[in-house]
Amino acid sequence: AALLKHQSLSSVPASGGLVGVYNGKSLVFEESSWFVINVIKLVWRYGFQSLRMHMWVEDLLDKFMRIYRYQSHDYAFSSVEKLMHAIGGDDYVRLLNQTLRENLKKAGFSETFLNEMIAPVMKVNYGQSTDINAFVGAVSLTAADSNLWAVEGGNKIVCSGLLQASSSNLISGSVMSIEEKTRTKQTGNPTKMYEVVYKTGSETHSDFYDIVLVAAPLNRKMSNITFRNFDPPIEEFNDPYQQLVTTFIKGELNSTLFSSRPKDQFGLSAILVTDDSDMFINSLSIVASVRQKEGPPPAVDGMHVWKTFSRDILTKEQ
């Protein structure tokens, strides 16, 4: 919000519309445009677990916000565990060593609630189940809150605006190697520097930097960077990565797949799926414009642009 103010940008509410949860056979939950009806539906099926979940997430966020107090006083931590303990105590550290399912079951949430409310959120955000790390899962749940917003014109303009304001030199190239070197400055003191060798088009260049941040997976298949003269050596991450495919489709949804109601009465603009649904997609939703003030855009020729997440590339039949 502070960056938006600094750059005189405005925000738009995150895509509205109604959400349904599909279990492979039927919609186990359908959101209503009436708040009271939603509350009744949630209480009828899950008791007061939705309210407890909201409070659980709020408590987690309140503790997480303490990190800014430490940062404003230039306070740093030597390990993730120490940071987590400082902002939330033992319970917070426990989030690092448990699955989300373990943590929420211990907190008293039911199997039905975990499968129908929590699992679909993990599936849409990370393409994973409630066996995800508890802290990661908790962060994922904060994104399911309704107070989300986007930047008018697209979130990317925050980055381009900051880049312009900082007068930085942006080089678009592929980094080939990073070498740790000791150089003697004009004062005569030896100092550690890093030589970055990179390619722009067919030309190879190199520059020296005081600090290098690598914001890419240290995996040869994904970012083929050679690290030279580092002691201890930089470790590569060789565990497999999970593929997630995003597909945009302009068309009319075959709503009979999810509901027996006539298509003009379907009304949902997002469908999340449970783990046991055996669906070929993780989620489905109408894409909202970044220049629109609220809700999904009006249909064009009776059709919307839909976005799906899936493990594999969709077939024509799908």
Report pLDDT digits (tens) over 222-233: 888 999 999 889
Token duo for residue 102: 């373990």
Sign, CA torsion 32/137/217/82 = positive
Provide the pLDDT confidence category of residue 2 given band limits of 50, 70 and 90: low
Among 18-22, 270-274, 294-298, the least confident range: 294-298
Residue 221: the pLDDT is 82
pLDDT band of residue 103 (cuts 50, 70, 90) is very high
Tokens 């939703």 sit on residue:
285
What pLDDT is recorded for position 21? 92
Give the pLDDT confidence of 278-308 residue by residue, as tens digits: 899 999 999 877 776 545 555 666 688 999 9
Query: How confident is the model at residue 15, as a pLDDT?
Result: 61
CA distance 176 to 202: 13
Comparing 313 with 3, the larger pLDDT belongs to 313
Between CA 303 and CA 126 the distance in angstroms is: 28
Report the alpha-carbon distance of residue 21 to residue 46 in Å, rounded.
14
Using CA atoms, how far apart are residues 312 and 318, in angstroms rounded to an integer?
11
Question: Which of 172, 165, 170 is closest to 201 using CA atoms?
Answer: 172
3-state secondary structure of 197: strand
pLDDT at site 205: 96
Confidence of residue 111 (pLDDT cuts 50, 70, 90): very high
| pLDDT higher than 70, residue 88 | yes
Q: Using omega within 30 degrees of 0 as the cis cutoff, is the peptide bond preceding 262 cis?
A: no
* 181: amino acid identity, one letter: K
Query: Rounded to two decimals, what is the model's pTM?
Result: 0.78
Comparing CA positions, the residue from 51, 49, 59, 57 lying closest to residue 113 is: 49
| Angle at alpha carbon of residue 224, lines to 219 and 226, rounded to 5° | 100
CB atoms within 10 A of CB 191: 11
- The first and second tokens of residue 314, run together, are 């969709």
